Structure 1
Amino acid sequence: MAKEKEGTLLVVDDNRSILAAVQLLMGNYFARVVTLPSPNQLLTTLRREPVDVILLDMNFSAGINTGNEGFYWLQEIHRNYPDIKVVLFTAYADIDLAVRAMRDGAVDFVVKPWDNERLVAALQGAYNLSRSQREVKQLKEIKRELTNEEPMFWGTSPAMARIRELVEKVAATDANILITGENGTGKEMLAREIHRRSARRRELMVPVDMGALPETLFESELFGHVKGAFTDARADRAGKFEVANHGTLFLDEIGNLPPHLQSKLLTALQSGRIFRVGSNTPVTVDIRLISATNRDLYKMVEQGAFREDLLYRINTIHIDLPPLRQRREDILPLAGEFLHRYAARYAKHIDGFDAEAAREMEAYPWAGNIRELQHTVEKAVILCDGPMITPSTLLLRPTEAPSPAESDVTTLDEMERSMIARAMERCGGNMTEVARQLGITRQTLYNKIKRYGL
């Protein structure tokens, strides 16, 4: 079955024979091909015609072959219609013109007399880029409408006051930021707060869980792919870098990225360009990078498990979030925030925590940090039938856990949670090793960590 033709191509050239030849050729690939023998009506035509790609000659005045006319009209197109992709056309194979054309925003450069396959590839590539970027824009609008971000809870502890002061200084810059801290300390929430305070706040913050991303999908997820790049690539797809363009890319659990993929990430960050899988056309991206991990990246560098040059690239500013047990003055206010949220969600009329429940929460170690506290309060709200939450609805585990031999764990869920918690402590937060020791996949491990609030 023949592929349905899409898009509108505008060809601007003072040679009518060339216009006729290109129109005949490209009519097989574009839904519409419009021609102009002079650029003087170019902007008028663009106001009237929805155009995706322009093939623009570089010289129109007899005896003048500098290409300046082409560059002038290229600038006018970008100034008035920045989403339209331009391929430049010239009879003079001048590499300097090619370099300048690409620098000034042309997506490609074709020399006359042209090779049909080369011309078709250049114009189709330009159209695919135009369509992909349009889809990215639409996706951003949809995500923006659906996003319901939770506000940052700073608390009153001195440690969080220092972090807040640092965030106020660096958020407005484009400095790359590395956030470290135990699981559940609120690394993604802090990343969202930094994005919210930045000059990029009107664009998206796009999160990527590097720990749950299969190695085989790394390039496709981050850089995108073109149709036919691999078996399941049934259509062009933008990657996370493109979706985050002009916004913030948040790479969570970056310490879990294998060394052979670290180099590909570093190349993209250094060059500011990515290549979709199956494509040789570079896509320029402008992102602010925030990364997070619960691992010691400096120790990993010493062990050869993390690239030193990548660490320096992502670590312009380092923010270490303290565990909840080191900011106990924030436990009850934070629990109050969660109580208010979940009481509204489940239509419960609950006034607060009774004195004994408050004492238990303040004394509890909160190994799962804020995430565990949040899940505990949600569960308590669901179970609570009165005006106050009591220890019987909090259901906190004993702080002095018995040894496995003496354990009185009575449910499989509690046994599994205990096993995962001990493995995480034993492996120092190395999730790959935790999953290996437990005999499960990393994705299954992450699902269970979220389920148990670890």
Structure 2
Amino acid sequence: MPWLCIYGIIVVGFCCIKQNIYFFTMSLKNASILVIDDDQDVLTAVRLLLKTEAKEVVTEKNPENIRNILSKQSFDVILLDMNFNSSINTGNEGIYWLGKIKEFKSEAAVIMITAYGDIDLAVRSLKEGAADFVVKPWHNEKLLITIREALKRKGKAATTPSFRTDSVVGSELLGESEVMQDIFYKIEKIAPTDANILILGENGTGKDLIAKAIHQQSLRSDKVYVKVDVGALTESLFESELFGHKKGAFTDAREDRVGRFEAATGGTLFLDEIGNIGLHQQAKLLSVLQNRQVVKLGTNTPVDINIRLICATNMPLTELANESRFRKDLIYRINTVEIIVPPLRKRGNDIILLAKHFSRIYSNKYLKPVLEFDSKAMDKLLSYHYPGNIRELQYTIERAVIMADGNVLQAQDLIFSPIESSPAASQDEPDELKLSAVEKNTILRVIEKHNGNITKAAKELGLTRTALYRRLSKYDI
């Protein structure tokens, strides 16, 4: 039985980790858990793991019996496989049965069980209401922690407001525009998972704030957050900085050094400007991510790492996909989910929202009354193209607050930086490199995939039908 071989370590391994997860035992003691998988070996292994930890464990091979089971009994957690050999053949049976569970008004936290190749579907299941997902074959401790956290979030759901309602993530990540609300929704769904995230966007759009927001909303929020600008590391410093070194490993290695990967263990590692590293560095990074181990310079001993990885780059996705510049196998490894951050010029009235936010900050900093904007100043803010994005707006408002004589900022007080590129530079950007073109092409592909069915296309894109119709109108599709 292949699955029994894979999962046979669960029972033995559980004895080894029991002491480390004692705090978790109490949270499961009164939980009822339903496990749905058509592999009997999986059902047996999970039942053996959970039978002494949960109040009740019910297993079921046939998902078509879900309605009957839920009509007779309620559960706190449901473990649901993504693929079944059943009479329902949609290509993503897990999503289908997740929808049915929601239709049955079950309040259980649903955790999807997926193979590595189906991670995209598992991430999509989060948009459809799943609490989390685990990749098989899993580590027993990881499965137990995932269930514990699902129970914790389920218990807090009624009292803990979503940050998306406030349109604020972190201290300065603000936005009321539709495109930012979509990003906030995505953060809300992916943050509690350990999925690797790739953040794309121009310089100054707030990619670092989004990375911090993901960490703050993650299950690792009480652990360390480590940021590294890998694009600034020279070839000689890359391994030492990321993986560490032993004393004497090279001429200037006067003491042992812990690398950033090891320092971030248990927490989140944010690799900024990932698109700027060379192919040789990419190969070394890929090896570490595949093996989940680093080898310090000057040693042959691997060190296990346990990180949540977030990467960011200002390089357009089409350019990143060029194999002469970037390894595709590394892209797949770091890009379980991507977040495309729009330039400020595409965010409409968010510009005024951010300007007023910066005005409050700098009015307080420079001991002035909070300055308002007259109508011409707001028109000037909205008509500018912002090649430097939010960073440029921030510095523009700071200068205006410093120089202002009255309590109202006027158009002449807003002086944009001459060091940024000209409007022509932005207009000359090839269409295929614009984020809007990426979105339009994605919509066209998904609609074609579903033979023009707007409902199915909207569902796959994670949009409402109304939001999709707005985009169809916007791009004249």
Q: How does the TM-score come out when normalised to structure 1?
A: 0.55
Q: Could you tell me how far 1:383 is from its partner in structure 2?
A: 1.5
Distance between the aligned counterparts of 2:357 and 2:401, measured in 1? 12
Q: Could you tell me how far 1:427 is from its partner in structure 2?
A: 10
Q: Note if contact 1:255-1:297 (Cα within 8 Å) is conserved in structure 2.
A: no
Q: Note if contact 2:387-2:420 (Cα within 8 Å) is conserved in structure 1.
A: no
* Change in 2 beyond 3 A, CA 1:202/1:321: same
Structure 2 match to 1:209: 229
- Structure 1 residue 244 and structure 2 residue 264: aligned? yes
Structure 2 match to 1:341: 361
- Structure 1 residue 370 and structure 2 residue 387: aligned? no
2:186 to 166, 171, 175: 166
* Change in 2 beyond 3 A, CA 1:272/1:425: farther
1:225 to 241, 245, 249: 245
Instruction: Kindly tell me the number of residue pairs found equivalent between the two proteins.
Output: 272
Counterpart residue identity of residue 308, structure 2 = R
User: What does 1:28-67 align with in structure 2 at a 5 Å threshold?
Assistant: none
Q: Could you tell me how far 1:209 is from its partner in structure 2?
A: 0.9
Q: List alignment gaps of at least 5 residues for structure 1.
A: 1-73, 81-148, 398-413, 431-454
Tell me the secondary structure at the aligned position of residue 206 of structure 1: strand
* Change in 2 beyond 3 A, CA 1:321/1:417: closer
Q: List alignment gaps of at least 5 residues for structure 2.
A: 1-14, 22-168, 434-477
User: What does 1:281-320 align with in structure 2 at a 5 Å threshold?
Assistant: 281-320=301-340
Structure 1 match to 2:298: 278
- Structure 1 residue 351 and structure 2 residue 371: aligned? yes
* Change in 2 beyond 3 A, CA 1:257/1:181: same
Q: Could you tell me how far 1:419 is from its partner in structure 2?
A: 8.5
Q: Percent identity, please.
A: 48
* Change in 2 beyond 3 A, CA 1:188/1:359: same
* CA displacement, residues 387-418 of structure 1 (integer Å, 9 cap, x when unaligned): 12222321136xxxxxxxxxxxxxxxx4x655
Counterpart residue identity of residue 194, structure 1 = I
Q: Could you tell me how far 1:307 is from its partner in structure 2?
A: 0.5
* CA displacement, residues 229-288 of structure 1 (integer Å, 9 cap, x when unaligned): 112211111111112111111111111110111010001111111011112221111000
Q: Which runs of 4+ in 1 moved over 6 A?
A: 423-428
* Change in 2 beyond 3 A, CA 1:198/1:246: same
Q: Note if contact 2:275-2:315 (Cα within 8 Å) is conserved in structure 1.
A: yes
Structure 2 match to 1:395: 415
Structure 2 match to 1:332: 352
Structure 2 match to 1:186: 206
Q: Note if contact 2:229-2:271 (Cα within 8 Å) is conserved in structure 1.
A: yes
Distance between the aligned counterparts of 1:75 and 1:169, measured in 2? 32
* Change in 2 beyond 3 A, CA 1:421/1:231: farther
Counterpart residue identity of residue 357, structure 2 = E
Q: Could you tell me how far 1:211 is from its partner in structure 2?
A: 1.8
Q: How does the TM-score come out when normalised to structure 2?
A: 0.53
* Change in 2 beyond 3 A, CA 1:355/1:192: same
Greater Rg over alpha carbons, structure: 1
Structure 2 match to 1:261: 281
* Change in 2 beyond 3 A, CA 1:159/1:427: closer
Distance between the aligned counterparts of 1:218 and 1:425, measured in 2? 35
* Change in 2 beyond 3 A, CA 1:191/1:359: same
Tell me the secondary structure at the aligned position of residue 183 of structure 2: helix
2:218 to 198, 215, 220: 198
RMSD: 3.1
Q: Note if contact 2:170-2:209 (Cα within 8 Å) is conserved in structure 1.
A: yes
Q: Could you tell me how far 1:300 is from its partner in structure 2?
A: 3.6
Tell me the secondary structure at the aligned position of residue 347 of structure 1: coil
Q: Note if contact 1:350-1:389 (Cα within 8 Å) is conserved in structure 2.
A: no
User: What does 1:23-102 align with in structure 2 at a 5 Å threshold?
Assistant: none
Q: Could you tell me how far 1:296 is from its partner in structure 2?
A: 2.7
Q: Could you tell me how far 1:216 is from its partner in structure 2?
A: 1.5
Tell me the secondary structure at the aligned position of residue 231 of structure 1: coil
Tell me the secondary structure at the aligned position of residue 211 of structure 1: helix
* Change in 2 beyond 3 A, CA 1:425/1:347: farther
* Change in 2 beyond 3 A, CA 1:221/1:421: farther
Q: Could you tell me how far 1:153 is from its partner in structure 2?
A: 2.5
Distance between the aligned counterparts of 2:256 and 2:422, measured in 1? 43
Structure 1 match to 2:48: none
Counterpart residue identity of residue 392, structure 2 = E
